[in-house]
Amino acid sequence: MVPHFPGANPRKRGSIQRDDSIGATATPSGRSLRQRLGGSTGRQTAIAACCLVLSMSAGVLAVVPSAQAADPPDPAAKKKQLDSQINSQKADLNQSYDQLAKSVAAYNQAETQYKAVQVKYAAAQGKLAAAKAADVVAAGKLKQAEAALQTAMNAVDAGEQVILQQKQIAGRAVRSAYQQQNSLVGLSIVLRGASPADLATGMQVQRNVFGIQGNAITRLNDAQAQLANQRVKVAEAEKIVAAQRAEAARTVQEVTALTQQVAADKAEAAAVAATRLTTQQAAEKDKNSELAQYNALVSERNRVQQILVARARAEKAAAARRKAAAEAAERAKAKKEHRPPRTVPNDPGSSSGLSYPINTYITSPYGMRFHPILHYWKLHDGTDFGAGCGTPIHAAASGVVTDRYYNGGYGNRLFISHGVIRGDSITTVYNHLSRYKVRVGQHVVKGQVIGYVGTTGYSTGCHLHFMVYQDGVVVNPMKWL
C-alpha cells in the first residue's frame, strides 16, 4: 500500500464554497482592483454576471455516452454533446466563486451610481450658477426700472408744480382781463376828456392784457399735456417695476430651491461615495480571498504532482522489473523446451482505458480559463460532471485506493492508482465527494461504487470534478475515456 500524502489531514474541514478549478502559475497583476476594473468595467461586469449565471445552471448540456455501450454513436447525441461543450466553455470563462462576482458587481453598480450622482450634482450646480446670474440680471433690471419710475415720478411732481404756477398766472390774467373788459374803461377815458392819442394808448394796453391772458392759458394747457404724458410714463414704469420684481422673486425662489437641491445632491454623492468605498473594500477583500484560494489550489496541485511523479517512476520501474523477470523466465523455459520464447504481455488489465465515473452530463471540460477579474489564465484541471448530491460514483478502472482526505479547494478527495496502463502510470482523482464508500488500501474493480457526489470544498453546486494524472502530471481526462 502506498503511504498517505504527507500534509493531508482528513479531519480538517473548511467552510469555503468555491468552484474547483486550479490555475497555472501565472501571477496576476499587482494593481488595485479599481485600477484593473477601470476603463473596462462594463465589459468585465457583463462577463462576470454571464459566467456566474451559467456556472450555476446545469442547462442544456451534452450527454456523455457510456464507455461500455456497444451501439454505434448517435449523431444527434454527438451534436448535443458538442453544443453542451460550447455552453460549458462559456460557463467556465470565469470560474470565480459567487461572492467575488457579487462583490465586483456591487462595486461596479456603486461606481455607476456614483458617476450618475456626480453628473446630477454638477448639473444642479450649473443650474444654481445660472439662476444666480439670472438673479443678478433681474436685480439690475429692477434697479433700472425703479430708477426710471422715480425719474418719471419726479417729472410728474415738477409738472404739477408748473401747472400750479401756470394756473396762478392764468388766474391773475383772467382777473385782469375781466377788469380790463369792463365798459367803464372806455367811458372813463372819454369822461376824462382824453385826447385821441390817450384813447389809442388805452386801447393798446387793453390788447396787451388780452395777449397776456392767451399766453398764460396756452402755457397752462401745455403743462397739463406734459403732466398727462409723465403720468402715462409713470404707469408704464410701474408695470415694468412690477414685472421685474416678480422676475426677481422667481429667481430668488429658484436660487433657494437649487441651493437646497445642490445640498441634497452633495449629501447623496457623499453617501454613494461611502457605499462605493465599502463595496470596493469588500471586492478587494474577496479578490484577495480568491487569490489565496487560487494559490492554495496551485500549491496543492504541485504537492500532489511531486508525489505522483515519484510514485509513477516507482510503479513503472516495478512493472519493468516484473516484465523483465517474466521475460527471463520465458526465455529459460523456452530454452528447456527447445522453442522460441513467446511474447510476455503487460500486467493483466493494463492495456484497457478508463470508463466514465458517472453516466451524466459534462458541465465543464478540461482546459485553460481566463479570469476576467484577477486577469490571469488558469487551468481547469479536470472534467466536471453535473449530478445531484448523493449520486453514486464509480471507479474508472481497477486499482488501489491510495489516498482520501479533505482539502479546502477540492473538498473530499479520493485517489485510485491504476498502475501502468499503455505504458503510463495512471491515477484518477475524484473531488467534492459528499462521502466515501471505500477506504485507503482497498482494491477496487472497474465500475465499483467508491463514493457519492457532493459539493464540499470550493464548489458552487453538486458535481464531480474528475481528474487524471499521467505519470504524475495532470492531463485531460477525455483522452483516456
Residue range 74-86, pLDDT digits in tens: 656 655 665 555 5
CA distance 48 to 183: 121
Q: Which of 87-91, 148-152, 363-367 has the lowest mean pLDDT?
A: 87-91
Read off the CATH number of the domain in which 135 is found: 1.10.287
Of 50, 55, 80, 53, the C-alpha closest to 65 is 80
Mean pLDDT for 40-58 is 41
Above 90 in pLDDT, residue 345?
no
135 belongs to a structural domain: yes
Q: Which domain holds residue 187?
A: 120-269
469 belongs to a structural domain: no
pLDDT confidence tier of residue 358, bands split at 50, 70 and 90: very high
369 belongs to a structural domain: no
The CA dihedral of 255, 256, 262, 267, to the nearest 10 degrees, is 170
Residue located via cell numbers 523477470 = 325
Percent of the chain whose pLDDT exceeds 90: 28
Q: What angle is formed at CA 291 by the lines to CA 453 and CA 278, rounded to 5 degrees?
A: 110
pLDDT confidence tier of residue 42, bands split at 50, 70 and 90: very low
382 belongs to a structural domain: no
Residues 162-180: pLDDT tens digits? Answer: 777 777 776 776 666 566 5
From start to end of 4-153, where are the E strands?
Answer: 62-63
CA distance 104 to 51: 13
Contact in structure between 67 and 355 (CB atoms under 8 Å): yes
Residues 389-448: pLDDT tens digits? Answer: 999 999 999 999 999 999 998 999 999 999 988 889 999 999 999 999 999 999 999 999
CA distance 162 to 155: 10
Burial of 447 (0-12, 13-18, 19+ CB in 10 A): middle
242 belongs to a structural domain: yes
420 belongs to a structural domain: no
What's the confidence (pLDDT) of residue 105?
77
Which of 18-27, 91-100, 212-221, 363-372 has the largest mean confidence?
363-372
54 belongs to a structural domain: no
State the total domains in the chain.
Answer: 1
Q: What is the pTM of this model?
A: 0.52
3-state DSSP assignment of residue 272: helix
468 belongs to a structural domain: no
